[in-house]
Structure 1
């Protein structure tokens, strides 16, 4: 909010790292561009873990993450994979839209869970988000996202200036396909001209010192 301009400045700085990727994927997935602000509301564009064990830029709990195709186990947590979690968020939002015919409802369902939102629709006999009696957080959630969008897009009107050059940029990277398990990630990194530290920082979804064999296809490890 405007009482915390530093928070808006931080959103703007972090957006330089993630928004180009969000915009590309949301367009490919047929999800409105404005819904990139859901991630800002959820995680402040930070690889966060909530008190309820929601994880990552899009704040999935483990059962929901698995339901939209993300791998979550002791070795790998794809909730922490920026691109895969973004596609998963698109799937979850699109499921809500297809169920209830409204992106507003899809966003509300993202916050409280589609099953809970659908239960409220059935019980209250309305599909209009603005007519539904919901928990306090979900009742404010859509407006919160709209406010975040407005403040980020019009920050200069409120004296919040973050030059484009001061925003965090995506680092230049390359992707290495891995089809076999990696038992020693430090040695693998060295063999590929990198370091263990760099691999871990660029791939926060890798939780341990190695990688299991992919369940299908190949891992794409960023260097």
Structure 2
């Protein structure tokens, strides 16, 4: 007791209520001078300078990662495929700082910054069989619900800053709707809050646990959350796992500039003194040669070019933002034909020329905005040019030809308007080989009408599907569907059948 009391000033009231303590001892203790507690010099907290966005991100990954079979399976996959994350970390360079910064400002879990990896592998042109598009994989109804515009000129799902704002708005909405449970909210991002809430109610009614891992959900959703958690674990412990992530400077790489009105992208690139390909890599939301007439009037630029661009734009006369042509209407013309010829829309022509309805008069003139450069000078991304070399812009499709009696390589090549050497090479033959009836040859076709950014989509036929309905959904033709999949006109589609489609994501606004 003396040891406990030594160096302490004891309250008299406390002592008088204690029958077991000798008053003499108390007096002796209280009369001793107070001994100050020993002090240790305080060390100033070490300040760790964060120079890499990945470092900044991994320090804030805090959602617990449970020992679950699916989590382990995805962790093993990421570790077995290190090139996947290495490529993604390169692709994330322009936009990861922007996404991490937006999440921090809202106080949201940093794991959400990894959703674009799971959703699209950080490809803003990604397009799914369910017609979801962009880095965050919005469907058009959900995109519009959260404020993104989609039209002929522009698709907000591919506008990374705008889509990031919409995605985080959606995550906050889902967090509130699902009882402020982040695993529920992340699952709902994949399949909708209704499905998650119904699964919770079913478990409650059956007296079962209602944590995420106990819910009965679609297989895709059951895999979605484990995949994200496994990814978060791998990135958080990247050094430990030997995963190499391309360093991204912890500072803004891009700046969003308000341009006020429509501008030709080639003109904008010239003002910013950057290549048009680089400009369109940063602005994948624009489908054609100019920004959208009715907005949004924003351009994403390299941060070191933004000030220079703004000054040059301010000095540019408004009428020089676009090139104009004075077009004389000819017999047989329609607004639709004129718009298609000049790569614009009927609404734009109507608006500029104060036309109501569709009536136009031959001999009269129309004022039409046109692209400053040829269509081939407006590539939509440098990556797409690489893809074009790899798969001929995905505009090639194959068909099969069964050799008939009397056929020769020369005869078949002439029929399909290709060279004999091409046909031979495609089928591992010599140009002098004799063909046997019944042999199947592969014929590759080039669809020169397909432009823009093309993605290959694998579509699983569902009950009630028809070629016409699928073609309409993906903005392709029935004949293209038949050619790409060697479909017989007399055979019906079967549920579960897999179809391959080559979808131009810059024209798929549904």
Distance apart, 1:168 and its partner CA: 8.6
User: Equivalent residue for 1:151?
Assistant: 234
User: Equivalent residue for 1:110?
Assistant: 189
Assess, with a 3 A threshold, how the Cα gap between structure 1 residues 7 and 196 changes in structure 2: closer, same or farther. closer
More displaced, 86-95 or 149-158? 149-158
**Could you tell me how far apart the structure 2 residues matched to 1:11 and 1:191 are?**
30
Conservation of the 8 A alpha-carbon contact between 2:133 and 2:139: yes
1:121 aligns with 2:200: yes
Unmatched tracts of structure 1, length 5 or more: none
1:138 aligns with 2:221: yes
More displaced, 205-214 or 188-197? 188-197
**What aligned pairs does 1:7-156 form with structure 2 within 5 A after superposition?**
7-47=84-124, 48-101=126-179, 102-125=181-204, 128-156=211-239
Distance apart, 1:132 and its partner CA: 1.2
Assess, with a 3 A threshold, how the Cα gap between structure 1 residues 155 and 211 changes in structure 2: closer, same or farther. same
- Give per-residue Cα distances to partners, 1:137-179, cap 9 Å, x unaligned: 1112111101011112222222333463xx5998855543222
Conservation of the 8 A alpha-carbon contact between 2:186 and 2:225: yes
**Could you tell me how far apart the structure 2 residues matched to 1:168 and 1:201 are?**
19
Distance apart, 1:127 and its partner CA: 5.2
Assess, with a 3 A threshold, how the Cα gap between structure 1 residues 27 and 123 changes in structure 2: closer, same or farther. same
- Give per-residue Cα distances to partners, 1:74-122, cap 9 Å, x unaligned: 2111111111111111111111110112111110000112233334334
How well do the aligned residues superpose, as a CA RMSD in angstroms?
A: 2.6
More displaced, 24-33 or 105-114? 24-33
Distance apart, 1:54 and its partner CA: 1.2
Q: SS of 1:56's equivalent?
A: coil
Q: SS of 2:133's equivalent?
A: coil
Q: SS of 1:73's equivalent?
A: coil
Residue correspondences, number: 218
Distance apart, 1:192 and its partner CA: 5.2
User: Equivalent residue for 2:29?
Assistant: none
**Could you tell me how far apart the structure 2 residues matched to 1:115 and 1:93 are?**
14
1:180 aligns with 2:261: yes
Conservation of the 8 A alpha-carbon contact between 1:100 and 1:127: no
Unmatched tracts of structure 2, length 5 or more: 1-76, 302-510
Runs of 4+ with deviation above 6 angstroms: 168-171
Q: SS of 2:235's equivalent?
A: helix
Q: TM-score, normalised by structure 2?
A: 0.39
Conservation of the 8 A alpha-carbon contact between 1:108 and 1:138: yes
- Give per-residue Cα distances to partners, 1:10-46, cap 9 Å, x unaligned: 2333444433211110122332112111221111112
**Could you tell me how far apart the structure 2 residues matched to 1:87 and 1:173 are?**
16
Bigger Cα Rg: 2
Normalized per residue, which structure has more strand? 2
Q: TM-score, normalised by structure 1?
A: 0.84
Q: SS of 2:99's equivalent?
A: helix
Normalized per residue, which structure has more helix? 1
**Could you tell me how far apart the structure 2 residues matched to 1:11 and 1:174 are?**
21
- Give per-residue Cα distances to partners, 1:33-80, cap 9 Å, x unaligned: 121112211111122112222111111111111111111122111111
**Could you tell me how far apart the structure 1 residues matched to 2:97 and 2:271 are?**
31
**Could you tell me how far apart the structure 2 residues matched to 1:77 and 1:211 are?**
11
Conservation of the 8 A alpha-carbon contact between 2:85 and 2:245: no
Q: SS of 1:176's equivalent?
A: strand
Q: SS of 1:151's equivalent?
A: helix
Conservation of the 8 A alpha-carbon contact between 1:11 and 1:44: yes
Distance apart, 1:4 and its partner CA: 1.3
- Give per-residue Cα distances to partners, 1:176-213, cap 9 Å, x unaligned: 3222233x432454355445433322211111112333
